[in-house]
Chains A and B, each alone.
Chain A
C-alpha cells in the first residue's frame, strides 16, 4: 500500500524498500515567466503487482510524475530532485545512458496518442523488433517470432499480415494495442500508462482497459495509470492518488477514495462529473474557478481559492500555511487543514446529496 509520510527524511537500506518508492520528488522548469514548480514533495510507494491510478486535471503534475520516473524530464530541461527507487535501484542519480538501458526493459510507458508515439515511416513489426534488439541479444528472426506472438496476444487480428503494416494503416484502437505490445515486449516490471484511452472511443476504451487488466494479471506487472477519468479508475485501480497543483492531495485505496473521500478537491471532482448510475440532477455541481497557474501558486493551500470550506478553518491557515499530507485513517492520507471530524461530516453531506438527497 501507499505510505507517503513515513518515507520523508529517512534513508532505508535498499532491500527494505518497496518495489517502487518515490521520495520527495520535485520537478521545476525554468521558463521566461519564471520557475515553474511542476511537482513539489511527491512521495509514495507501491508494492509489486499493484495498480495505482494517479488522478488530476491538466497542470496537476500527473504526467510530470510519470515522466520523472521514466527519466524523461531532464531532456526537456527540467530539474529533478528527490529519490526514485525502483526495485532497489535509485534512478535519479543514474547517468542518462543507464536510465536508457532500464527504459523499455525494467519500465515502459504507453502514451495517450499512439499515432505520435509510433514512427510513421517504419512497419510496426520492425519497430517492435527494434525494441527487443535494443535490450536483448537475440537474432532478428527470433525477435520477429516473439513480436508476432505478442501482437496476437494483445488481440491484433490477422497479426501475420498486420506485422508488416504501417501505423497509418491501423485504427486508433489497433495502434494503442501495438503500443501496448511494444511496451510489454521486454517484460517490464513497471508499466506507466499515461491517459491510454483518452483518444479512443468508449467501446474501444473498454477493450483496451480489459486488455491492460488481463495482461497485468498474466505478467504480474506493476501499473501506474495516469488519468483524469474517475470512471476508468473505478474500473482498474487498487489505489488512487489525487493530485492538484503539483502535489498529492489525497491518497488511499480505491474503495476509500470513492466511499470516504475527505479532501474537498476530491469531493468536488466526484460532484462535478455527470453520472449514468444516478438519477439526473437538475444541475451539476462544479468546482468554482479555474485550476491555479503553476507559475503563481497560492501561498497557502493550493486548492484554497476554489474550496468551499476554507472559511471553516481558524486563523485563515488555508491562506498562509501549506498543509501537509497526513494520515487520517489506515491507508488514507489527506492534505487539508480542516479537522478530521469536520472533513468526514462534509464528506458525508456531499455524498448524501450525490446519492440524490435534497439539499
Chain B
C-alpha cells in the first residue's frame, strides 16, 4: 500500500443527457432524458466510493460517463490530474490503462469465442505492454491471484460458473494495475455464497494494489461491506453523500432513510418488529422530472418550498453532504413516527394511498477495524 492516499478522480458537475427524438420522417429532438444531471464526486487511491440508487437513478450512466464509455454532455472529469471529459477516443487510449471496469453480468461481459488466456491478456495486447517474464506468465499469475486455476488458461468462458467468470472479469480489470476500477453491480448477478467470495477478493486486491473503486450497486448491505464513503443517487442527482458509518447510522436525507428502512434483515425477530417508511409509487420519469427537489413526489417531508426551489447539496458536517430543504435526523424520524406526526405529502392523485408506517434504523456499529 502506498503511504498516503492521493486524489485520483475528481468529477465536477457531470451531466449526461440523452436526446428524445420524435418518430416520423424527420425526427426532431423533443426532450432530454437527464440521466445524470450535475453530479460531483472525488476518489482517493485505495478508497471505495459506493454509488447507490434504484433503477433509473443514473448510477450506471454516471459510472460509464466517468470512464468515457458514454460521452458526457458537460462537466469535468479529472483522472490522475488529466482532464478527460473532452478527449477523443485516440487520446483516451493511454488513459484507459489507468481506469478499468468490472461489469454486472459475467455471462455477457466475456467473449465466448475467446479463451480465458486471450481475454485476460487483451489489455496487454491492446496497450502494447510487455510484462516482464512474458504475457502468458503474467496472465497465469493474475489467474492465480484471483483464485482461478492457471492451468485453465486455454478454457472457454462457458466452462466456468458465474462466480469464476466474475473472477475472470476481475483479473482482466486489474491486469494493467489500474488506479481506478469502476465496478458496476459486480455481485448482483451472483449467488449469495459466491457474492461474499467476490467482495472479499475485491477488498484484498484493493489492499494489495491501492486500487480506488467506484462501486455502483443497489444493495445497501453489500455496499456497506466494501465502501469507505457512500453517495446516494436519485433521478440523476446525488442527494446525500457521507462516510460509510455516517450514511448507515446518521443519514439526513428522507430518501436515504427510506432506502435503509427497506433493506430486509435476515432475522425474523428483528424483521417482524421493524416498521418501515413505505415510499409511494415509483421513480418519476427522467424526461419530465419534478420541479424543485426531484424526490419531493415520494417524500414524507415535502412542503411547498420543495416544489419551488431546488435544494442545493450542502456540506452539513465534514464530508457529509445533503441536498434537502428539510433534512431529518434518525432520532427525529423515529420520534415523529411514534408521535404519529409523519404525514404523507399532499397525495399525488396517481399514488396509491397508504399510510407511512414508521421506521426502523440499524444500530450504528463501530467504525471499520
Q: Interface on A for B, CB 8 Å cutoff?
A: 57-58, 155-158, 171-174, 201-207, 210, 228-235, 254-255, 258, 268-270, 272-280, 282-288, 290-291, 306
Contacts and interface: CB of A to CB of B under 8 A. Distances in A.
B155 to A, nearest CB: 14
A258 B266 CA distance: 8
Interface stretch (B15-23, B68-76, B194-202, B324-332): B194-202
Interface of B: 54-55, 161-164, 191-197, 199-200, 203, 218-222, 224-225, 248, 258-260, 262-271, 276, 278-279, 281-283, 349-352, 354, 362-363, 365-366, 368-369
A320 B160 CA distance: 26
A218 B54 CA distance: 31
B192 A157 contact: no
B194 A290 contact: yes
Given A269-B192, A290-B194, A282 B266 contact: no
Given A258-B266, A280-B224, A282-B369, 15 more contacts: A58-B191, A156-B352, A157-B351, A202-B220, A231-B263, A234-B265, A234-B270, A270-B266, A272-B192, A278-B365, A279-B365, A282-B368, A284-B196, A286-B195, A291-B191
A280 B225 contact: yes
Given A157-B351, A286-B193, A286-B196, A276 B271 contact: no
B74 to A, nearest CB: 28
A203 B265 contact: no
B192 A204 contact: no
A290 B197 CA distance: 10
B266 A230 contact: yes
Most buried by B among A173, A230, A286: A286
Given A172-B55, A203-B262, A290-B194, A235 B271 contact: yes
A276 B366 contact: no
Contacts of A276: 220-221, 224, 248, 260, 263, 265, 362
Contacts of B258: 203
A-B pairs, 4 with minimum CB distance: A231-B264, A286-B196, A279-B365, A284-B196
B247 to A, nearest CB: 11
Given A274-B224, A274-B225, A275-B221, A173 B264 contact: no
A313 B357 CA distance: 49
A183 to B, nearest CB: 19
Contacts of A229: 192, 264
Contacts of B269: 255, 258
B164 A233 contact: no
A158 B350 contact: yes
Contacts of A210: 278
B266 A279 contact: no
23 contacts: A58-B162, A155-B354, A157-B350, A172-B55, A203-B258, A228-B192, A235-B271, A258-B266, A258-B267, A258-B269, A272-B195, A274-B196, A274-B222, A274-B224, A275-B266, A276-B260, A280-B368, A282-B369, A283-B200, A284-B196, A286-B196, A286-B197, A290-B163
A284 B163 contact: no
B225 A284 contact: yes
Given A57-B191, A202-B54, A203-B54, A235 B279 contact: no
A254 B269 CA distance: 10
B352 to A, nearest CB: 4
A277 B267 contact: yes
A290 B262 CA distance: 30
Contacts of B279: 203, 206-207
B349 A273 contact: no
Nearest to B226: A274
B365 A280 contact: yes
Most buried by A among B224, B268, B354, B366: B268
B349 A157 contact: yes
A128 B193 CA distance: 39
Contacts of B260: 276
A284 B68 CA distance: 33
A162 to B, nearest CB: 10
A157 B192 CA distance: 35
B198 to A, nearest CB: 9
A290 B264 contact: no
Given A202-B262, A276-B265, A268 B193 contact: yes
B208 to A, nearest CB: 14
A202 B259 contact: yes
A279 B220 CA distance: 14
Contacts of B222: 274
Contacts of A156: 352
Contacts of B248: 276
Contacts of B354: 155
Contacts of A268: 193
B182 to A, nearest CB: 21
A205 B220 CA distance: 14
Contacts of B196: 272-274, 284-287
Given A275-B221, A280-B224, A284-B199, A228 B191 contact: yes
A202 B283 CA distance: 12
